[in-house]
Structures are given as C-alpha cells and as structure tokens.
Amino acid sequence: MREDGRNPGRGYVAGPIRWWLLVLGVVLTLTAVTFGFSASVSSATTAQVRTALDDAGLTRIVVDSVDYRDVVMRGPAADEAAARAAISGIDLVEQVEYSADESLAPTPSPRPSPSTTPSASASAAPTPSASVSATASATPTETTVPIPTFEPVLFDAFSADLTDAAKAQLDDIANGIVDTLESHPGITVHVDGYSDSVGTEEENQVLTDQRAQNVKDYLVGAGVPGSILEATGHAEQSPVASNATEDGRAQNRRVEITITEG
C-alpha cells in the first residue's frame, strides 16, 4: 500500500491486446482477399466453360457449379466425350465431373429403314416371244434391273464399331449388291466414311478410314466380292446436317454406300 493510503493495484497493459487485434485484422483481410480471388476465378472459369460448350453446339449441357477450378456439369450421356473435349483447352479447368441426365437429351428421330430393291430373282419372269415362222420358238425378253440406292450407315460418337442396327442394315445391303451383280457384273461399290466436326482433322481422318474399312469388311463377310469394294475416309467433309446440334452430328457420323457401273 502506498503512503497516501491508496492501493496501486495492477496497471492496464494495452500493448499485447493491440498486437492481437492487429493480427486478427491481417487474418480477416487475407481471408477476404482469398475469398474474393477464388470467387473471381470461379466466375471466369464458368464463363469460359459456357462459351466453349456453346461454340461446340453443346447447348443442352448444364454447368451446375464451378468451385474455384473444379467444374460440375450434367447432360446427355452421348455428349460427355464432346463436352470434355470442348473444355479440355481451358487452362483454368483442373477437374471435371460429368453426370448423365437423359432428360436433357433430344428426342431421337426415327432411324430410316434400309432401302432395298427387288432382286433380279424376284422380278417378273421373262415372257416368251412367239416366232411367226412355222417352227415357233420362245426367247426371253431382256429385262433391266435398276441399280439400288442405300441409306447411310450411322455410327456412335467417337466410334468406328458397327452397332447391331448397322449390322442388320448391312445384311440387307449385301443382299442388294449381290443381286445387282447378276445383271450388272461390272459395278464398283464405293464405301465412303464421314464424321461430325468434333475432334481434330487428323483424328477424324483416322476415324472415318476405320469406319469405311469396317463396313467393307462386314460386306465381304456377307458375301460381297472384295474386288468391287473401294473404302475411303473423308473426315468431316461433306456434312449432310448442321454440326451445331446432336441430331445433326448424329447424321454426319455415317458411311455412304453407292454403286457405279464401269
């Protein structure tokens, strides 16, 4: 106790408390800056992903969330590979999660049934021509069987494998070619493969070469002479529909089979 009778007690030390407040302020500031940077990156990533998908014609795909550089999307299962390819060049994207949602898939258009032409054996039998001479003889009149045309054989995205529907279609086409050979022995059958616009030119060239070759091999196995078949891949040339939609791209993933004489 002091001489004046007052107890001095303990003095208030403000210095350490001010340092704690300063540290807390720095932490809060860094947290706010980090959050703001993360939000900015997420926003930029979302914009780039959406633009890349739209440019590829993948408008049905929904970007559910972008957590910094991790992207969560959903859409038709058939579009997954195209979607991943479309955003693969974006530097901000580190991880992609894709969920199949068939409610976003377009309503499938009916697949055209293969066109078949009556074979020579099913055509009307030749009628005899009566001779006016005393010794009547019957000679068949010459008939001409038209050269048939066929619907394109369609393929799944990024695939050269023949589907069950394509194999059934090729069985009918093989029968039509063999029947045509009976009345047109000098024909050449052209097997031309095409792709949609997804992927590089080099990748699509390899893919269409393989599609054309697989169709040729199947026709040979079904009885068509390999010597009259010419298989060629044309990458993404000569599209028959717009590559901006899945329906259009599905029509462009095809092999066309045509017959010429001579």
pLDDT value for 120: 44
pLDDT given at position 239: 96
Which helix H or strand E contains 87, and what residues bound it? helix 80-87
Q: If you average pLDDT over residues 208-227, what whole number do you get?
A: 96
pLDDT at 102: 78
Among residues 209, 192, 195, the alpha carbon closest in space to that of 259 is found at 192
Domain regions of the chain by residue span:
15-104, 120-125+137-261
Phi, psi (degrees; rounded to nearest 5) at 59: -75, -15
Whole-number mean pLDDT of the chain? 80
128 or 62: which carries more pLDDT confidence? 62
d(CA 162, CA 153): 9
pLDDT in tens, 45-98: 888 888 888 888 888 888 888 876 788 988 888 888 888 888 888 877 888 888
- What's the maximum distance between 2 C-alpha atoms anywhere in the chain? 167
Here the tokens at position 185 are: 């022995």
Average pLDDT over residues 19-41: 66
Q: Are 155 and 191 in contact (CB under 8 A)?
A: no
For the domain bounded by 120-125+137-261, which CATH number is listed?
A: 3.30.1330.60
b/e for 40-72, b at 16 or more Cβ within 10 A?
eebeebeebbbebbeebbbebbebeebeebebe
For the segment 218-234, the average pLDDT, to the nearest whole number, is 96
Most confident of 20-24, 39-43, 53-57: 53-57
CB 101 within 8 A of CB 217: no
